[in-house]
Amino acid sequence: MTLLVQKYGGTSVASIERIKAVAEKVAASSKVGNQLVVVLSAMSGVTNKLLGWAHQVQAEPSAREMDVLLSTGEQTTIALLAMALEELGCPARSYTGGQVKVLTDGAHTKARIIDIEQKNIRKDLDNGKVVIVAGFQGVNEAGEITTLGRGGSDTTAVALAAVLNADECQIFTDVDGVYTTDPRVVENAKRLDNVTFEEMLEMSSLGAKVLQIRSVEFANKYNVPLRVLSSFEEGPGTFIGSEDASMMEMPLISGIAFTSDEAKLSILGVPDIPGMAYQVFGPISAAGIEVDVIVQNVGNDQTNDITFTVQRKDTAKASKILQAIAKEIKAEEVQVDDKVAKLSLVGVGMRSHAGIASRMFETLANESINIQLITTSEIKISIVIEEKYLELAVRALHDAFELGDTETNSKA
């Protein structure tokens, strides 16, 4: 018998009608003989409403009470789905995180899962019941309600699949899979049948926001077969697994990820002595600013230039901090550019093939696009360019690496 863990996100359960539609899908899958554990998010919008209330009541809401508050969202949807399934004659049973129980550490609002009890779930599955679990939430040793942070329902699903040794963990969302790049930018972007965990990690952290990065890490670690599918249409979606399974047919490049809300900051003429990088990034990190790309080239004489990118909204804050640091460490200058975008080629295939980078740079040169920064990892080449060239660059590279669907042709 096949055991599936299915996760439905906030847009999939956003209304009573949609909850009924999810029930139809689940009941159909149960009817053909699958054992099913269903993980749900809160109705979309609910978590934000509750957050808004909390901030109206307390300037910096207590994390413990925030978790008590936020966990009501999934508790609402699991009960409604259980009712909808029973209405269809499909026996079902809902569990809050505390009831399962999903044991976490005590880090309220960003807890990590330590263990999940199987006992009740197994018993219900053996009795032919669909088990419905509230995503995003757990309890700590003391019985306090905890939550896993944004997107935590994906993590709940993957963790359940790992513990139960499920045949597949299916993440239902509002897109029908992982694409070679954003179809809004490149018309003939193609849905990928397979990607590896590593590729997915690079893709999701780079802006292709299909899956929560943490849940992909988790799936990778415990080797949980993942699949991303649409809640709203039929289709095979995209399978995400370990490399071995599908290496034979791996293309050089799987996709192009990009993000356009970045700012680039450089500190020039940093003395070339140990500890400088820490002196720069210590205060930035302490201010809660997330740094994305960091580039430091070989220095000239006794100084180095360090460049990094941050989210555009953090530009002013980061710039101010950097000015102060520059004064302190006697750096020469600070440069800020908040009109940049980042683009990354991702593919496990590039590991064993030279020439990917040069083809990438050649393609951009042909379009007269200047490359400002370059960083690479084993399966990824990222560049930072002027923002206005982003879409042109994505389309040109998508064509150059023949990522498109051959049935329709890109207009670019």
* 98 forms part of the interface with its own copies (CB under 8 A): yes
Question: In the sheet that 303-311 helps form, which strands lie side by side, from edge to edge?
Answer: 291-296, 303-311, 255-271, 333-346, 380-386, 371-377
Site string for its own copies, 145-184 (x = CB under 8 A): x---------------------------------------
Nearest approach, Cβ of residue 212 and its own copies (Å): 24
For 344, counting Cβ atoms within 10 Å of its Cβ (0-12 exposed, 13-18 middle, 19+ buried), the class is buried
User: Residue 205 and residue 196: Cα distance in Å, rounded?
Assistant: 14
In the complex, the smallest distance separating the C-beta of residue 72 from its own copies, rounded to whole angstroms, is 4
**Residue length, the chain?**
412
Phi and psi at residue 345, to the nearest 5°: -90, 130
- The tokens of 297 are what? 């080239």
Where in 223-242 is the site for its own copies (CB under 8 A)? none
What number of other Cβ atoms are within 10 A of residue 228's Cβ?
A: 25
> What is the DSSP code string of 310-343?
EEGGGHHHHHHHHHHHHHHHT-SEEEEEEEEEEE
Residue with Cβ nearer its own copies (85 or 219): 85
From the list 30-38, 92-100, 235-243, 264-272, the region that binds its own copies by CB under 8 A is 92-100
**Which of 78, 186, 200, 256 touches its own copies (CB under 8 A)?**
78
Q: At what angle do helices 276-286 and 315-329 cross, to 10 degrees?
A: 150
> Distances in Å between the alpha carbon of 312 and those of 77, 202, 260, 263?
35, 20, 9, 5
How many residues bind to its own copies according to rule CB under 8 A? 37
Q: Minimum distance between the CB of residue 293 and its own copies, rounded to whole angstroms?
A: 38
Q: Which of 19, 159, 250, 325 binds its own copies (CB under 8 A)?
A: 19
Q: Which 3 state secondary structure label does DSSP give 253?
A: coil
From candidates 44, 76, 279, 319, binder to its own copies by CB under 8 A: 76
Choose the binding region for its own copies from 78-86, 153-161, 255-263, 265-273 (rule: CB under 8 A): 78-86
Distance CA 189, CA 203 (A): 15
80 near its own copies (CB under 8 A): yes
Q: Which of 190, 194, 172, 169 is nearest to 181 (CA)?
A: 190
- Candidates 28, 45, 87, 245: give the one binding its own copies (CB under 8 A): 87
Residue among 65 and 174 whose Cβ is closer to its own copies: 65
Nearest to 116 by CA among 87, 82, 139: 139
CB of 248 to its own copies, least distance (A): 47
Residue 121 has phi, psi (to 5 degrees) of -60, -50
The reply, when asked if residue 210 is annotated as ligand binding, is: yes
Query: What is the enclosing helix (H) or strand (E) of 241?
Result: strand 238-241
Is 99 among the residues that bind its own copies (CB under 8 A)? yes
Per CB under 8 A, the segment of 80-88, 146-154, 266-274, 389-397 that binds its own copies is 80-88
Angstrom distance (rounded) from CA 114 to CA 16: 33
Q: Binding to its own copies (CB under 8 A): which residues in 30-69?
A: 50, 53-54, 56-59, 61-62, 64-66, 68-69
Nearer to its own copies, 86 or 386 (CB): 86
Enumerate the β-bridge partners of residue 239. 194, 227
- Which residue lies nearer to its own copies by CB, 145 or 160? 145
The helix (run of H) or strand (run of E) holding residue 383 is strand 380-386
The one-letter amino acid code at 100 reads: V
Per the annotation, where are the binding residues for substrate?
47, 74
Per the annotation, where are the binding residues for ATP?
7-10, 173-174, 179, 184, 209-210
Residues in touch with its own copies (CB under 8 A): 16, 19-20, 50, 53-54, 56-59, 61-62, 64-66, 68-69, 71-72, 75-76, 78-80, 82-84, 86-87, 93-94, 96, 98-99, 143-145
Per the annotation, where are the binding residues?
7-10, 47, 74, 173-174, 179, 184, 209-210
